[in-house]
Structure formats: C-alpha cells, structure tokens
Amino acid sequence: MKQLLGSVQQVPAAPEGDWSGRGGFADLTMQFTTCAVRLAKGHLLPPSVAPEMQAAQSVLWQTVVFWAALFYHLPLLRQLEGELEDGHYWQPGVCIPDKPFRFRFRAPENVLPVPQELLLAARLLPEEFIRWVMTVPEAWRCLMLHMNGNPSSLSLIDALLQEAAEWVHSPLVKPVISPPPVAETDFDSEIDVVPETTSIPPANEMKSLYQSASDDTQTLLSLFQFNNEALPSIGMNKNDNDLK
C-alpha cells in the first residue's frame, strides 16, 4: 500500500468530479478499499462451501478482497502522463518519482490502449501473500482474473466491489442517464401518476459509512505499519499539474 500511494503521489483520479482534486487517486483508493473490506466482512467467504471450510479460509478470502479493491482503480492511471524536473518521462503508478514532477491528463485518443494494470499490480503483491493465496487455487484464480480485468470466478466479490464503487462515487461507475421527458398528456384527474425515482441512500447512512470508512482507513494503515508521515513527498509543493 505504501508503495502504491508513493508511486501515485498527489495525482487526481479524474479530470473532473468528486475525485479530481489533489490527491484524489490516493483518497479514492483508500476509501474504496476500506468500504469494500467493510462490505466483505458481512459475508461468509467463499459461499456455497461447508462452514468448516469458510472458517478456515475466511481470512485468506478477505485478503483477496483487499487486494482486488486496492487494484480496482489502477486503470484510471492510464489517462495520466508525467514528466520529472529533468525532463525524463514518469508514468504515475509505476515508480516513486525521485524528483519534482508535473503531470497532465492525456487526450482521449492518446490514452494508453494496452492495459498496464497487471504489471503495476504484480509489482505490489508481496511474495509471502502469493505463496499463501496459492494454497487455495480458487482464491488465486479469482485474484488473477480480477487483475487481468476479467469478471471474478466468485461473483459475490464482483458484486461487493461494484457496491463499494457506487458508495464512493467512483469514476468507473457509469452515471445513470435519465430517459428523455415524456410529452405532456392529459390524464384523468382520478388517476394518480407516480413519477419514477432513483433510490439513493439516506444522507445519514452516507455520513455514517464515510465516517466508518475513515476509521477503517486508519485501521488499515496501522495494520500495514505506516502512517501518512511515511508517505514519500518529493517536492510536492513544487509540482505543476499543467504539463505542456
């Protein structure tokens, strides 16, 4: 996690919207990951197996959810390109820059056509975890499918990640396009016409979730034994996001 946050520094996750501010990608990744882990805790993984096996494999599958969530937004980095102070190219997410840098969003036609997420994810996975998860072949297959951008072999994990993406308003969630307004028509005054609405979580539930996610973020940081001060800061106050 420390390596990932250091390699993206303070880049945004999107050119506009909720996560377009400074540090948007790191903030989105942390909130999304903690939300996904919280949602997964409410389920017994893997489903459809004996309770004894669920108890034995629960921690491993929860860790699979953690890594799948941590890698979920890596595709967003393809839209960014950076340049170090000395003029050398820097790709956010690949390595921690050793000099001040600037960055910009690529034009849509220049976004990298070849996925780089598998390379980035592979560099982040600890060897100890790889050995551990490979003891359960289905968990290893599930994570590999996710890292390659394919649907997981465990549909519940895909559903949990999708739900977490909706909770945090991820840029990867396609906005719902409302249908065009229907032309006005005269109705019988005795007929009650109920307009179609989109169900959204109550404000108090959203506030509660984000507060809990903030708490869980600190828990995750402590579990991995680093804090915000440990995040490399390479000339952050000098960085210019207007790369020309």
Question: pLDDT tens digit string along 182-223?
Answer: 444 333 333 233 333 333 333 344 444 444 444 545 555 444
Give me the pLDDT at residue 182, please: 45
In this model, does residue 56 exceed pLDDT 80? Answer: yes
For the chain, the structural domain boundaries read 1-104+111-170
Mean pLDDT, the chain, rounded, equals 76
Q: pLDDT of 139-183, one tens digit each? A: 999 999 988 888 888 899 999 999 999 999 999 986 544 445 544
Residue 233 has pLDDT above 60, yes or no: no
SS3 sequence of the chain: CHHHHHHHCCCCCCCCCCCCCCCHHHHHHHHHHHHHHHHHCCCCCCCCCCHHHHHHHHHHHHHHHHHHHHHCCHHHHHHEEEEECCCCEECCCCCCCCCCEEEEECCHHHCCCCCCHHHHHHHHCCHHHHHHHCCCHHHHHHHHHHHCCCCCCCHHHHHHHHHHHHHCCCCCCCCCCCCCCCCCCCCCCCCCCCCCCCCCCCHHHHHHHHHHHHHHHHHHHHHCCCCHHHCCCCCHHHCECCCC
CA 158 – CA 152 distance, rounded (Å): 6
Q: Indicate the class that CATH gives domain 1-104+111-170.
A: mainly alpha
Query: Model's pTM, two decimal places?
Result: 0.72
At 232 the pLDDT is: 37
